[in-house]
Amino acid sequence: MNEKSPVGEVRPSQLLWTYGPGALVDLPNLSVVTLGTNHWEKDRCAPIEEARLLAAVRKVLGAQVETLRMPPFQTNDQVDAWSAEANIGVPVRPFPRFLRCVKCGLLSEYDVGLFEIKENRYRPEQTRFVHKACKGSKGDQPARDADAVPARFLMACKNGHLDDFPWHYFVHVGPSACKGTLRFFESGASLQTENLWVKCDECGASRNMAHAFGQAGKENLPACRARHPHLDIFDDECDEDARAVLLGATNAWFPVTLSALAIPLSRDPIAQMVLDGWDYFEDLESESEVAITVKTLKKSGALPGIDKHDPKAIWETIEAIRSGSGKEEVTDSDIKGPEWEVLTDPNPPTDWPHFLSRNVDAPKGFESQIKSVLLLERLREVNALIGFTRVEAQESGAGAEGGPGMASLSRTNPDWVPASQVHGEGIFIRFDEEVLAAWELAQPVKEIEAKLLEGHKGWRNARKLDPDEDFPGVRYAMLHTLAHLLIRELALECGYNAASIRERIYADTDGDDPQAGVLVYTAAADSDGTLGGLVDLGKPENLSRLLRQALDRAKICSSDPLCSEHNPGKDKSLHAAACHACSLVAETSCERGNRYLDRTLLVRTMENSSAAFFGGD
- Identity of residue 417: V
Which segments within 110-151 are labelled E, that is strand? 115-118, 128-134, 144-150
Would you tell me the crossing angle of helices 443-462 and 433-440 to the nearest 10 degrees?
80
CB 487 within 8 A of CB 583: no
For residue 532, the model assigns a pLDDT of 61
What is the C-alpha separation between 373 and 425, in angstroms, rounded? 14
For residue 193, the model assigns a pLDDT of 80
For residue 438, the model assigns a pLDDT of 95
What is the C-alpha separation between 140 and 143, in angstroms, rounded? 9
Task: State whether residue 401 is helix, strand or coil.
Answer: coil
Q: Which residues contact 125 (CB under 8 A, 6 or more apart)?
A: 7, 8, 9, 27, 28, 29
For residue 601, the model assigns a pLDDT of 96
Residue 616 Ramachandran class (φ > 0 left, ψ -120 to 50 alpha, else beta): alpha
Q: How far is CA 43 from CA 39, 72, 92, 300, 411, in A?
A: 12, 9, 18, 10, 18
pLDDT more than 90, % of the chain:
44
Question: Each residue of 449-479: pLDDT tens digit?
Answer: 999 999 999 999 988 888 888 899 999 999 9
CB 88 within 8 A of CB 298: no
Do the strands 196-200 and 92-94 form a parallel or antiparallel pair, or are they unpaired? Answer: unpaired
CB 64 within 8 A of CB 412: no
Burial class (CB in 10 A: 0-12, 13-18, 19+), 283: exposed
Q: Which residues contact 449 (CB under 8 A, 6 or more apart)?
A: 473, 474, 477
CB 276 within 8 A of CB 355: no
For residue 398, the model assigns a pLDDT of 54
Whole-model pTM over 0.75:
yes
Task: State whether residue 54 is helix, strand or coil.
Answer: helix
CB 32 within 8 A of CB 248: no
For residue 347, the model assigns a pLDDT of 87
What is the C-alpha separation between 181 and 174, in angstroms, rounded? 16
Bridge partners, residue 601, by sequence: none
Question: Which portions of the chain are predicted below pLDDT 50?
Answer: 325-333, 527-530
- Which of 121, 150, 145 shows the shortest CA–CA distance to 135? 145
DSSP assignment of 252-293 equals: G-EEEEEEEE---S-SSHHHHHHHHTHHHHTT--SHHHHHHH
Q: How far is CA 167 from CA 110, 163, 238, in A?
A: 14, 11, 20
The helix (run of H) or strand (run of E) holding residue 431 is strand 416-431
Q: How far is CA 435 from CA 366, 367, 441, 539, in A?
A: 12, 11, 10, 23
For residue 80, the model assigns a pLDDT of 66
What is the C-alpha separation between 25 and 10, in angstroms, rounded? 9
How crowded is residue 301: how many other Cβ atoms within 10 Å of its Cβ?
9
Q: Look up residue 366 and give its DSSP letter.
A: -
For residue 525, the model assigns a pLDDT of 58
What is the C-alpha separation between 210 and 272, in angstroms, rounded? 60
How crowded is residue 426: how many other Cβ atoms within 10 Å of its Cβ?
27
